[in-house]
Amino acid sequence: MITSPQLRAARALLGIDQRKLAELSGLSVPTIQRMEASEGIIRGNVDSLMKLVGALDLAGVELIAEGASSQVGGRGVRLKAEHDPARLGDGTEARQGIRSAA
């Protein structure tokens, strides 16, 4: 689903810290820290993982799965073509989008 390196790269692409990602996803900072510190694929509560992936998606990050189209064929992240930095505002839009998707 998502690896810890992908998560760190996604945050870097967005230029946000762990606190901002926690706000956008509705998760706690310690949860984000645990996810980033894990080895390989992030495991845990499915609801938390869905919130995380949903927040990244709404923020404009496309997760690239193993074997999917990319320059080198590995895992990675990329910004969506329609990425809008203004959507990161206060996180309200991202949290509402996650709730409506659930």
What domains does the chain contain, in order, with CATH numbers?
4-101 (1.10.260.40)
Please check whether residue 35 is in contact with residue 42, taking contact to mean a CB–CB distance below 8 angstroms. Answer: yes
Among the listed residues 45, 3, 24, 15, the one whose alpha carbon sits nearest the alpha carbon of residue 90: 24
- Cα dihedral 26→29→35→38 (10° resolution): -170
Identity of the amino acid at 43: R
Q: What is the pLDDT of residue 68?
A: 74
Using CA atoms, how far apart are residues 50 and 41, in angstroms rounded to an integer? 14
pTM exceeds cut of 0.75: no
Q: What is the pLDDT of residue 90?
A: 56
Q: What is the pLDDT of residue 10?
A: 95
Q: What is the pLDDT of residue 72?
A: 59
Q: What is the mean pLDDT of each run of 10 residues along the chain (102 residues)?
A: 92 96 97 95 94 95 77 68 64 48 42
Q: What is the pLDDT of residue 14?
A: 94
